[in-house]
Structure 1
Amino acid sequence: MSVMVSEAESRCGECPIRHRAVCAKCEADELAQLEEIKYYRNYETGQTIAWAGDDLAFVASVVRGVATLSQTLEDGRTQMVGLLLPSDFIGRPSRATSPYDVVAVSEVTLCCFRRKPFQKMMERTPHIGERLLEMTLDELDAAREWMLILGRKTAREKIASLLTIIARRSTTLGVKAQAGPVQIDLPLTREAMADYLGLTLETVSRQISALKREGVIHLDGKRRIVVPDMLRLMEETGDDMDGGMIA
């Protein structure tokens, strides 16, 4: 298994997710404490990080790669319920088990902390708790946004919304689109996109082809997408610039 974090990046101050992860508010002395209790884990594509209901002895930040969250019903049906992208947090300091199956859909590197030491550090370091609360509220907002996407948007708007979300997180664009093309390496197959969006594989392929034909996106291989104009892609989501749906 390849090592995906360089020696420089392994230092908290040089970490690529330093300003977005759970440690974003930490001062230098607090980062030094985190350095003492952290370790890295690498996962191959398709490898399970955690099974729902199993003990999870660590919490972690995604440093590189993408993982999915999914739940399995009693009859064996599985539903993907979330994506974990770089800087997202896995686990809960006060919960011993994982509520979801967590599976790497690309090569994934996690910055891990044993749950108990991390929980004790949260008690000593308010900055970590404050940031974790912010991230939890952001996750709640994202879940509400996803309810809108699944419940009210057309197939084309769903595809555009997913691409916009991935582009924002991959390039740290934030809400405002920047000038120039944006390159996205899709973390999901079209089959996985269909499952996540509640669409058929044929519909996903048809809508991606339509966006390509109209110049909204360009395809570079199976997984790489180039967005010439982020504003145009965002217009296809059905949202206004304040995040609501266009009437």
Structure 2
Amino acid sequence: MAIKQGAQQADIPTICESCEARQGGLCGALETGQLVNLAKASSRHEIPGGTELADDGAYSNVLSGVIKLTRNLSDGRQQIVGFHFAPDFLGRPFKAQWPITARALTKVTLCSFSKTIIERMMEETPALRRVLLKHALKQLDEARYWMAALGRKTASEKVASFLLKIARNIGPGNHSANSMSFDLPVKRADIADFLGLTIGTASRELSKLRTDGVIRIANRRHISLESVARLEERCGD
């Protein structure tokens, strides 16, 4: 059995071996042969920060960077409704119309492939369908969480919850009570937009967390947490 596993490992495309999407994302559900076929049909590319991602029918694994999702209304108003981090899956199978705009907040690396190949693999692979179902349910759970947070939490709790979300997704893998630091990928205007606050209120709450010693802020974007547990306590959950 060990020899067979070694042979299968050797067949995995080199570019996929250390890919986070294979370890914790969509491609982790694929068998070696399927992974080889998908790798042949995929392309990696970098998207500069600030770029709107074209809705060209392709699906993508987010390999690095942060993407914001915005719902635009007919009169120009908009609302940030979510974010994608590595190793999230970008795209929506079976969609007729998706009124969401995706924009790279930072430099983003994507591994993209046509919807035809992934939808065919969904028909062939129950494990892949389960991964996509879990992904959809995770997004549903998160949407319900933020529905309650935006409707009932105080401004202070909203900002703390947002920082914790970012820390858990782009900070170090250890999410215990230890300290960590990261660069905030969003402007304060985006934080305010997502949380339904004014920019002034979002800035005051960040300053309050800094004054209370929960966070340190350097160069307006670099956030250091003395204790993740202390930030969790400020979230009101």
Between the aligned partners of 1:18 and 1:182, the Cα distance in structure 2 is 25
Aligned match of 1:193 in 169, 174, 191? Answer: 191
1:109 deviation in Å? 1.0
Aligned match of 1:211 in 209, 218, 222? Answer: 209
- Calculate percent identity across the aligned residue pairs: 39
Q: Which amino acid aligns with 1:134?
A: K
Q: Which amino acid aligns with 1:46?
A: G
Contact in 2 for aligned 1:167/1:173 (Cα 8 Å): no
Q: Which amino acid aligns with 1:180?
A: N
Between the aligned partners of 1:202 and 1:57, the Cα distance in structure 2 is 39
Contact in 2 for aligned 1:56/1:98 (Cα 8 Å): no
Q: Which amino acid aligns with 1:182?
A: M
Contact in 2 for aligned 1:44/1:107 (Cα 8 Å): yes
Within 5 A, what are the aligned runs for 1:85-124? 85-95=85-95, 97-124=97-124
SS of equivalent residue, structure 1 residue 47:
coil
Larger Rg: 2
Q: 1:10 to 1:235 in 2, by over 3 A?
A: farther
Which residue matches 1:6? none
Cα deviation, 1:18-56, whole Å, max 9, x if unaligned, reads 322111233333322221221112211111003xxxx53
Structure 1: segments with no counterpart, 5+ residues = 1-8, 240-247
Between the aligned partners of 1:237 and 1:144, the Cα distance in structure 2 is 16
Residue 39 (structure 1) aligned with residue 39 (structure 2): no
Within 5 A, what are the aligned runs for 1:1-247? 11-50=15-54, 56-95=56-95, 97-171=97-171, 173=173, 177-239=175-237
Contact in 2 for aligned 1:23/1:131 (Cα 8 Å): no
Between the aligned partners of 1:60 and 1:93, the Cα distance in structure 2 is 11
Task: Give me the TM-score of the superposition, normalised by structure 1.
Answer: 0.85
1:97 deviation in Å? 4.7
Contact in 2 for aligned 1:185/1:223 (Cα 8 Å): yes
**Larger deviation, residues 19-28 vs 72-81:** 19-28
Q: Which amino acid aligns with 1:117?
A: I
SS of equivalent residue, structure 1 residue 19:
helix
Q: Which amino acid aligns with 2:214?
A: V
Q: Which runs of 4+ in 1 moved over 3 A?
A: 171-174
Structure 2: segments with no counterpart, 5+ residues = 1-12
Contact in 2 for aligned 1:61/1:86 (Cα 8 Å): yes
Q: 1:71 to 1:10 in 2, by over 3 A?
A: farther
Task: Give me the TM-score of the superposition, normalised by structure 2.
Answer: 0.88
Between the aligned partners of 1:228 and 1:10, the Cα distance in structure 2 is 38
Between the aligned partners of 1:180 and 1:150, the Cα distance in structure 2 is 27
**Larger deviation, residues 21-30 vs 86-95:** 21-30
Between the aligned partners of 1:113 and 1:62, the Cα distance in structure 2 is 12
1:223 deviation in Å? 1.2
Between the aligned partners of 2:143 and 2:57, the Cα distance in structure 1 is 26
Between the aligned partners of 1:146 and 1:46, the Cα distance in structure 2 is 24
Name the structure where helix makes up a greater proportion of residues: 2
